[in-house]
Structure 1
Amino acid sequence: MAASFFFLRQLLKKLSKQTVNNCLGAISSFISAISRVSLNHEKDCSSRRITLVGLGALTSNVLQPRFASAEGKYEPFVDFTDGYSYVYPSDWRDFDFLGHDSAFKDRTAALQHVRVGFIPTNKNDIRDLGPMKEVIFDIVKNVYAAPTQKPTIFDMQERTVDGKNYWTFEYELESPNFARTAFATIAIGNGRYYTLVVGANQRRWSRVRNLLKVVADSFKILDIKPEVE
């Protein structure tokens, strides 16, 4: 099992971002469908987050309806290039998280954030990794937890959307002087192993748990269209 999850430890070795030209090209392909785009982000188009946040009518067709119409509490993030989408609290801001493709955090509580990363895999479905309980236990204990941390898993759930399986689990990592609780959603598609983690300081968890569960449950893999030569 440890060998099967060696590739998880490579999560920090993230693929490089697109160039400015690729970024702008992605905008032009669906600009007519954009109802609003944040114009106050930094002008560094090497980050696709600038152009993929807040796609309005277009994202309503991609995200599940109950997430796309969450009464202004959430904003959609859709990445057609890397093949995934999710929602995040509307008052969070984007930031760079080492080794991850996208990330957003609370404006005042930096440890309260969501991040998404992916790595290549030859698996076709998350179930190919093995039984859910064994796989999640191994991930939390041997990948997420540091040697000095005590891991605890509270809940595990599986859902199926458009033929793709997703595992979402709640866990806590406790250190001698600190504890953090989080939800993680993992799934496989497009030849990639995707991981979304959204969490907060243990002291704040009871207040934000329901808010962050919506984020974890909103993660969805989008089929990547092959490039036309």
Structure 2
Amino acid sequence: MLVSTNLLLARFAPAKEAPNKYKSFVDLTDGYSYVYPSYWRDFDFLGHDSAFKDRIAALQHVRVGFIPTTKNDIHDLGPMEEVIFDLVKNVCAAPTQKPTVFDMQERTFDGKNYWTFEYELESSGFARTAFAIIAIGNGRYYTLVVGANQRRWSRLRDLLKVVADSFKILDIKPTAV
């Protein structure tokens, strides 16, 4: 158990400077960071590298995943509008859900490009709204999604936007295969 704890301490750096009421998550091994509300707790989200959720309302959560890619930049995927609409319709939405994209933005930080978009997935009697960020770096295609159910979205939108806007890719050394 001691070895496991030491590995966790080496893998995740301490918080640098998070806004008030947020904590920082920094993963130096996998090359990314973001902030999340300080009252959320970590949890395992299948297929994702990190995830935090509200202690009471589990549908309010943030999760980060990545997959290997040979692309060097997000622009290598195609035009932003086409890529995002395709992603929301064919990856995020289940066949029974109606996807709607509300907003798309691009930002550049430390030479890396990020696409942020707000979207809703609606099905019979339920809707969920989220911000998602996609970016490419370190030979990986990163995705961060932070959202809540539609009933709570208007109250939480600004809080969750801080989480979305905080996502950054960190430069890491390539690992030998």
The verdict on a shared fold, with TM-score over 0.5 as the criterion, is yes
Q: Which residue of 2 aligns with 1:24?
A: 6
**TM-score, normalised relative to structure 1:** 0.73
Contact 2:104 2:116 in 1 (8 A): yes
Higher relative CO (Cα under 8 Å, sequence separation at least 6) belongs to: 2
Question: Residue 137 and residue 227 in structure 1: after superposition, are their counterparts in 2 closer, same or farther (change >3 A)?
Answer: closer
- Aligned residues, how many? 176
Instruction: Please give the alpha-carbon distance, in whole angstroms, between the structure 2 residues aligned to 1:158 and 1:227.
Output: 29
Q: Distance in 2 between matches of 1:218 and 1:88?
A: 9
- How many Å apart are 1:225 and its aligned residue? 2.2
Per-residue deviation, 1:177: 1.6
Which ranges in structure 1 are unaligned for 5 or more consecutive residues?
Answer: 1-18, 29-47, 61-67
| Secondary structure of 2:87's aligned partner | helix
- One-letter code of the match for 1:203? R
Amino acid at match of 1:24: N
Q: CA deviation at 1:25?
A: 4.7
Structure 1 or 2: larger strand share? 2
2:129, 2:148 within 8 Å by CA — same for their partners in 1? yes
What's the Cα RMSD here? 1.9
Q: Which runs of 5+ in 2 are unaligned?
A: none
Under a length normalisation based on structure 2, what TM-score does the superposition of the two structures give? 0.93
Identity of aligned residues (%): 79
1:134 to 78, 82, 86: 82
Does 1:146 find its partner at 2:128?
no
Amino acid at match of 1:97: F
Partner Cα separation in structure 2 for residue 91 and residue 209 of structure 1: 16
Superposed, 1:73-112 pairs within 5 Å as 73-112=21-60
Letter paired with 1:195: T
Shift of 1:21: 4.4
Deviation above 6 Å: which 4+ runs of structure 1?
A: none
Query: Does 1:187 pair with 2:135?
Result: yes
User: Is the Cα–Cα contact under 8 Å of residues 121 and 127 in structure 2 kept in the other structure?
Assistant: yes
The answer (yes or no) to whether the contact 2:61–2:147 under 8 Å persists in 1 is yes
Larger Rg, first or second structure (1 or 2):
1
- CA distance change for structure 1 residues 21 and 175 in 2, over 3 Å: closer, same or farther? same
> Retained in 1: the 8 A contact 2:138–2:174?
no
Secondary structure of residue in 2 paired with 1:187:
strand
Asked if the contact 2:116–2:132 (Cα under 8 Å) also holds between the matched residues in 1, the reply is yes
